[in-house]
Structure 1
């Protein structure tokens, strides 16, 4: 069992950073398409994707955006955070087998209203910038340690 620990507003400092990484799989693309409803063939159809400038299926841009959300929820500030807003621009495609690492950096803290601004960057395993943006998060007021949630078994069909 993994424990998650957050950083309440009074423990955050400008310049503080955290990272979160995940490798994109074909199953991730299928699950993201299923839950989002985005069935664009550039993600799901190898033959079609081969005719695009990418030459092969690419991950949904918002899959990378979801990694930013995961980084906030799991790392900085962590459990108890409330994701308020996100700007995000996509710089390069993410393909199956790419490992994306999201880096969050605290750039501003408004302690009175518990609002934290985070610079967000996502790079692939080659160090290429794939997405960049800024998030605003309401930081938790209290320190917490929680057990990481467990995913139920699911069937893809």
Structure 2
């Protein structure tokens, strides 16, 4: 790993993703599931769960940057814009800091998600422990 290293992953959030996430997490807030309710909100239609969007960051961390063996110590999310059913979201991660510790490397990664219009919908930071796998 090196400072400036990047990785990304893209996914279109479909109706079934929203329903499956609601069933898995028990977050059945009607702003995610009920079009009649959602049309009376500031968003005017249903939005994806914020943590569903954030889960793309976890997918990049676990499979690409840094991948297997890393342990997430801290994660921050700043939700900037809503994600709607049918939106294509791209999670882009960039290594910003690497510190050697006795327990392994502590790595900070800038985390951003963009929609299909290249608008930032989420930004945050991940802090990970990278240690030798035994």
Q: 1:140 to 1:100 in 2, by over 3 A?
A: farther
Tell me whether 1:31 sits opposite 2:27 in the alignment: no
> What are the Cα deviations for residues 98-156 of structure 1, in whole angstroms up to 9, with x where unaligned?
111111100000133311100001000100000000100112535xxxxxxxxxxxxxx
Aligned to 1:58: 47
Q: Which runs of 5+ in 2 are unaligned?
A: none
Distance 2:130 2:57 in 1: 15
Question: In proportion to residue count, which structure has more strand?
Answer: 2
Deviates more, 1:126-135 or 1:45-54: 45-54
- Could you say what the CA RMSD is over the residues aligned between the two structures, in angstroms? 1.1
Q: Which has the higher contact order (CA 8 A, sep 6+)?
A: 1
**Partner residue, 2:113:** 122
Unaligned runs of 5+ in 1: 1-11, 143-157
Give secondary structure in 2 for the equivalent of 1:29: helix
Where 1:103 maps in the other structure, the secondary structure is: strand
TM-score, normalisation: structure 2: 0.93
5 Å-filtered alignment, 1:5-154, equals 12-112=1-101, 113-141=104-132
> Structure 1 length normalisation: TM-score?
0.80
CA distance in 2, matches of 1:36, 1:140: 30
